[in-house]
Amino acid sequence: MTDEAAIRYERVCHKKPACQVTLMAHIPHAPFPYDGPVGDSGQPFFDHSDPVSGQRMHTVGEGIYYSESPHYRNNRVLIHLPPHFKPEAPFEILLFFHGHNAELNRTLVGEMALLQQLNAVDRNLLLVAPQLVLDAADSSPGKLYRSRGVDKMLRDLTQVLGEEKGESFAARFGRAPVLLAAFSGGYRALAYSLERGFADEQERDKRVKGVLLLDGLYGELDRYTAWLWHRNRRGFFVNLYGPSSAPFSRELEQKLEAARVPWSETLPKKIRSRAICSLMVETPHASIFWQGPPRWPLVEILKRLATSQSPGKRAD
């Protein structure tokens, strides 16, 4: 069995940031490697080859190509349990999709201080952050194009967590509510996760507790609105955007108005089930994840979520 097919993991916890446990898993159903069509287009993902090396390449824009290695070969997923995490209590999964030109350790752990931010949230949740395209300006979601992409990825991780925290914990991980979050170019992975990431719509509506977009609405409006309009949707939707993603965000707001769907342009003190918030800030794109406002917006949004519920139950 090759490394790509085998499930393996290592601890990557350091003294800073403090953690209960941080793991780097290598799993077969990570978004990459991927070899298939681009979405539903039928067009091959690798549509070009390097005339010198012969290596396959993917086109992301006119005259822009990225090679299969190293950009589309990494099958890692970062898992983080904060110091205050209580494995015996009900918990939630924060599934986080990073943006362009990112690498999990350097970007999420280092530059974005994502683990440090989650450690500051008094909420019983754990982080799952897959490596999307490595160090490239490409929003391709890889295997998340496929049906049940999220479901299969999380199932791989139950084996990892079963070895690390026990089979009882792993079984509860397989049923836990999921918060979907994306920064910047992670928006496409999140959109496909909403549309086809779970076994069926019933399972998605039962498990997806909410969506958080941090300056990340750069397209895929049909996939987002299909979920927002869905009659059985229970999850909340928060879209914090700056000037760069304003065109699509304003289009979404116009669609909400036209459909007479209630929404707020401010962040309420308590974000409850089915709430929709879309708010603009003037912060430059590269700084929004830290500065918001509010400062550390991901942390502030998580702090404002209504009290955790059992999967499938609605807030009062």
Query: Tens of pLDDT along 260-279?
Result: 999 999 999 999 999 999 99
Q: H or E element: which one contains 279?
A: strand 276-280
**Confidence class for position 181, pLDDT limits 50, 70, 90:** very high
213 closest CA partner among 188, 233, 195: 188
Contact 68, 136 (CB under 8 A): no
Q: Which of 195, 217, 184 is nearest to 108 (CA)?
A: 184
With contact defined as beta carbons under 8 Å apart, do 311 and 270 qualify?
A: no
Q: In what order do the strands lie in the sheet with 208-214?
A: 8-11, 21-26, 76-81, 125-130, 92-97, 178-183, 208-214, 236-241, 276-280
The two tokens of residue 66 are 């990225």
Q: What is the pLDDT of residues 133-178, one digit of tens each?
A: 999 999 999 999 999 999 999 999 999 999 999 999 999 999 999 9
* 3-class secondary structure, 8: strand
d(CA 146, CA 157): 18
Going from the N-terminus, what domains does the chain have, and what CATH number goes with each? 8-34+73-304 (3.40.50.1820), 36-71 (no CATH)
Q: What would the two tokens of residue 148 be?
A: 């049940």
Asked if residue 21 lies in contact with residue 81, where contact means CB atoms within 8 angstroms, the answer is: yes
Give per-residue pLDDT as tens, 28-60.
999 999 999 999 999 999 999 998 999 999 999
With tokens 């550390």, the residue in question is 296
pTM of the complete model: 0.93
Q: Residues 89, 124: contact at Cβ < 8 Å?
A: yes
Question: Residue 154, CB half-sphere, CA atoms under 13 Å: how many?
Answer: 27
DSSP state of 172: H
